[in-house]
Amino acid sequence: MSENSFAPRQSRTRISRRLFLGSSVAAAALPSLLKAEEVAPAEAPASSGFSPRLLPSRELPVPTTVSAQLQGVIAAPYSPGWDTIPKDAAAWRDLAASSSAAAADAITAIRERFNLQVEKTTMAGVPVFVITPSEIAPANRNRLLVHIHGGGFVLYPGEAGAGEGMMMAGYSKCRVVSIDYRMAPDFPFPAALDDISAVWGVLLASYDPRKMGIFGTSAGGALTLSAVLRAKTEGMALPGAIAPGSPCADLTWSGDTVMANAYVDNALVSRTGWVGAAINLYAGTHDLRDPQLSPIFGDFTGFPPAILTSGTRDLLLSDTVRTHRKLRQAGVNAFLQVFEGESHAQFLTPFLPETAEAFGEIVNFFDSHLLA
Amino acid sequence: MSENSFAPRQSRTRISRRLFLGSSVAAAALPSLLKAEEVAPAEAPASSGFSPRLLPSRELPVPTTVSAQLQGVIAAPYSPGWDTIPKDAAAWRDLAASSSAAAADAITAIRERFNLQVEKTTMAGVPVFVITPSEIAPANRNRLLVHIHGGGFVLYPGEAGAGEGMMMAGYSKCRVVSIDYRMAPDFPFPAALDDISAVWGVLLASYDPRKMGIFGTSAGGALTLSAVLRAKTEGMALPGAIAPGSPCADLTWSGDTVMANAYVDNALVSRTGWVGAAINLYAGTHDLRDPQLSPIFGDFTGFPPAILTSGTRDLLLSDTVRTHRKLRQAGVNAFLQVFEGESHAQFLTPFLPETAEAFGEIVNFFDSHLLA
């Protein structure tokens, strides 16, 4: 898949672009919906040198092409508090504590639904949750899945962060270790990666790395990728497979859907909300293009097989597909699944049919690529 | 991947939706950008029973995350004539003729770039173009790729329709037969499929079906899927692999990105343009949910391995990912690739680096799944 070195003249490109699709009749006026005076300022500077496109205001219906339960999720208003940005460290700590408190009912529901044992312990001094399903599949007896939770590098301390790990244990019938890594504001980058790396080191003493997978979503997807980059750098063994879900792979927010899906995504809504501030809090003064922070800028050569998950309304659909393409360019076995109508990380919503389907693919992928 | 039968209470779903991402602090006001009086009417009725989301008017910059050449394609204005709808059959014929005339320069460029031999002939009375690359890869000596062109079931009669087939011959170093099937307004559904089926029958007499792939984009992607459905129905042998690109798999336009990417996609722009009228012209009085018309409603069991291609701005991203999910649900080996920032079928634009990458994946997929 080498890049094509043929550089077309612009005129040829323009002709060709219309070749298979557009019509070539007389130029039409821009739709009357486009009125410049109604246009809000762009949220991020367009640094391509080209003019931005003016999008008209419009109504976006709830699609009928998803389950009734998912229709309800898509129809929900923007996440409460999405654009409320904590003013100081104490307010960030309050936000983290309230995120975990709000998750408590769902955590209970997941644990009960899958009849899971959840044990809190530490590895290398890092708090972890060891999640054991009621039944372990025979092929999974010597396998372990390692979970890195999301929440913008600031939310879901404690057991609240382990929900995705619990669902994975339930759907996969495999043991899961979920890492309760240190977070901003008190422990910014690279504390989280230090913790993940320390736990990975402990696990390598007990498990064949080819029998371990690492997974996580959003910030947890970014940390999954960064953890592999760091293991590569440090000469540690790599896992047998990974599953980064809708990874925040580019903390510079350069992905196209960061803008195209702004106000379409009802989970993150826009980078101008709390999540943008959270990422700055996490990164501190570090260069956002550091691959340990933004793994899209890293070298994916030698990465294990990877399955990536996103949704068509996801603010980070671009981060996901760019990660997929870059993995493929590096020759990695990488599989992409994108769910109709879902906003950021909504494939984790308990217990939609689409959630079972997303986890089903991931479980199947781990089962195909981890040594038994 | 069975569906989960657990039906959560709505309140639990709502709690859970916020679990991993959103914050749970006090509800925030809708962004001030949302002003009801600026909202254009929805293009399609929301039949889910839920209220639509109001999207503010905004600016969408050209992303810097793609090649300089693709940035130019993304920055281009809406396709000239996208919302000009021919008034009668004669006007449709004029549009088809001018689409082919406008493509002539690009066709020449592609043929020269790849040094292709293109021979016009007929099979079962159907005009086809037999495309032979200057060099045939050893593994491809007994293989054949069958191309079904796009253009909304109405555009690109003659050699103009074979451009995608020519690029495939060039990138794959494999022979390609491109079918110049009959089109609306003179020959509506199912004339195109009758022609494709007739050619397939002829080819089966000379080639092992496991050594043949079928591919096409947009209308050609839909026809690729429908051709396999029809072959199944008629008990004909199926190809060894298929590559539907951004298929118009759902002619009822129900996919979420038909609305979410309206006015974001600069190729099709909106279903309210010529393409919506073209599909009605093609379908005539037939039920749009007939799987031969809208393959998303068909049974994909037993389908050959499939690779699907789309872009994040594609009006038919939903059709593509829904087809991918449905293939996977049917147990089919199906691979999805989605390109950053690309509108409908822009992965065919000669000769972007991203085009070489998209074809590279498809060529690799055919090479992996077709018998040598």
Is A318 in contact with B79 (Cβ distance < 8 A)?
A: no
Within 8 A of B25 by CB-CB distance, chain A residues are 80-81, 84, 95, 98
Predicted confidence at residue B47, as pLDDT, reads 73
Chain B nearest-CA distance from A5, in A, is 8
Nearest Cα of chain A lies from the Cα of B205 at a distance, in angstroms, of 30
- Chain A: residue whose CA lies nearest to B5: A353
For the record, the structure tokens of B321 come out as 């990912």
The DSSP result for A48-106, as a single string, is SSSPPEEEPPEEEPPPSSS-HHHHHHHHSPSPTTTT----SHHHHHHHHHHHHHHHHHH
Q: Give the pLDDT of residue A4.
A: 34
Given this model, what pLDDT does residue A18 score? 39
The whole model's pTM is what?
A: 0.90
Chosen for mutation from B19, B274, B347 (greatest number of chain A CBs closer than 10 Å) is: B19
For chain B, give the secondary structure using H, E and C: CCCCCCCCCHHHHHHHHCCCCCCCCCCCCCCCCCCHHHCCCCCCCCCCCCCCEEECCEEECCCCCCCHHHHHHHHCCCCCCCCCCCCCHHHHHHHHHHHHHHHHHHHHHHHHHHCCEEEEEEECCEEEEEEECCCCCHHHCCCEEEEECCCCCCCCCHHHHHHHHHHHHHHHCCCEEEECCCCCCCCCCCHHHHHHHHHHHHHHCCCCHHHEEEEEECHHHHHHHHHHHHHHHHCCCCCCEEEEECCCCCCCCCCHHHHHCCCCCCCCCCCCCHHHHHHHHHHCCCCCCCCCCCHHHCCCCCCCCEEEEEECCCCCHHHHHHHHHHHHHCCCCEEEEEECCCCCCHHHCCCCHHHHHHHHHHHHHHHHHCCC
| Spatial distance between the Cα atoms of A80 and B30, rounded to a whole number of angstroms | 10
Domain ranges of chain B: 89-369
Residue A328 pLDDT > 60 = yes
Cβ pair B71, A48 in contact under 8 A: yes
Residue B243 backbone class (left: φ over 0; alpha: ψ -120 to 50; beta: rest): beta
pLDDT in tens, B194-233: 999 999 999 999 999 999 999 999 999 999 999 999 999 9
CB contact under 8 Å between A325 and B75, yes or no, is: no
- The dihedrals phi and psi of A59, each to the nearest 5 degrees, come to -100, 135
pLDDT of residue A361: 98
A28 and B80 within 8 Å at the Cβ level: the answer is: yes
Q: Is B58 within 8 Å of A17 when comparing Cβ atoms?
A: no
Mean pLDDT value across residues B186-201: 98
Q: How far is A92 from chain B (nearest CA, A)?
A: 11
Which backbone phi and psi does A306 adopt, to 5 degrees?
-135, 140
Q: Summarize pLDDT for A129-171 with one digit per residue, the tens.
A: 999 999 999 999 999 999 999 999 999 999 999 999 999 999 9
Strand-pairing partners, residue A127, are A122
Residue B1 burial (CB < 10 Å; 0-12/13-18/19+)?
middle
The predicted structure's pLDDT at residue B214: 99
A71-88: string of b/e by CB count within 10 Å (b at 16+)?
Answer: bbbbbbebbbbbbbbbee
Confidence of residue A48 (pLDDT cuts 50, 70, 90): confident
Q: Which two tokens stand for residue B131?
A: 């495309």
Tell me the nearest-neighbour CA distance from A158 into chain B, angstroms. Answer: 12
Pick from B223, B181, B173: nearest CA to B199: B181
pLDDT score, position A47: 74
Is residue B82 within 8 Å of residue A23, measured between CB atoms? yes
Q: CA angle, B312 as apex, B355 and A326 as ends, to 5°?
A: 60
- Cβ–Cβ of B322/A336 closer than 8 Å? no
Q: What is the largest CA-CA distance in chain A?
A: 70
Is A302's pLDDT higher than 50? Answer: yes
- What number is the ipTM of this complex? 0.90
Tens-place pLDDT, residues B36-60: 333 333 344 447 899 999 999 999 9
> Is A307:A118 a contact under the CB 8 Å cutoff?
no
B18, B55, B107 ranked by CB distance to A263: nearest:
B55
Mean per-residue pLDDT of chain B: 90
List, for residues B318-364, the tens digit of each pLDDT value: 999 999 999 999 999 999 999 999 999 999 999 999 999 999 999 99
Of A35-44, A190-199, B19-28, B72-81, the one with minimum mean pLDDT is B19-28
Instruction: Give the span between the Cα atoms of B254 and B256, in whole angstroms.
Output: 6
Mutate to test the interface with B, among A2, A16, A34, A94 (most CBs of B within 10 A): A16
Tokens standing for residue B159: 């050699």
- CATH for the A89-369 domain, from 3.40.50.1820, 3.90.226.30, 1.10.30.50, 3.40.1010.10: 3.40.50.1820
pLDDT of B31 reads 30
Of B1, B254, B345, the CB nearest to A357: B1
> What residue spans of A115-190 are helical by DSSP H?
163-172
The residue type at B76: A
Q: Cβ distance A329 to B361 under 8 Å?
A: no
**Cα separation, A95 vs A91, whole angstroms:** 6
- Out of B59, B113, B351, the one facing A39 most closely (by C-beta) is B59
Residue with more model confidence, B315 or A10:
B315
pLDDT level of residue B7 (50, 70, 90 thresholds): very low
pLDDT over 70 percentage in chain B: 88
Q: Please name the member of B15, B23, B348 whose beta carbon is closest to the beta carbon of A274.
A: B23
Q: Are residues A23 and B83 in contact, defined by beta-carbon separation less than 8 angstroms?
A: no
pLDDT of residue B43: 42
User: Is there a contact between B337 and A351 if contact means CB atoms under 8 Å apart?
Assistant: no
Q: Out of A1-15, A292-306, B207-221, pick the least confident.
A: A1-15
- CB-CB under 8 Å, A30 with B77: yes
> CB A58 to CB B163 under 8 A?
no
SS3 A245: strand
The residue to which tokens 């890492």 are assigned: A179
Q: Is B26 within 8 Å of A84 when comparing Cβ atoms?
A: yes
Contacts of B344 (CB under 8 A, 6+ apart): A21, B218, B246, B265, B267, B268, B311, B314, B315, B316
More confident residue, B11 or A322: A322
Element (H, E) at A126: strand A126-132
Averaged pLDDT of chain A:
90
CA distance linking residue B106 with residue B96, whole number of Å:
16
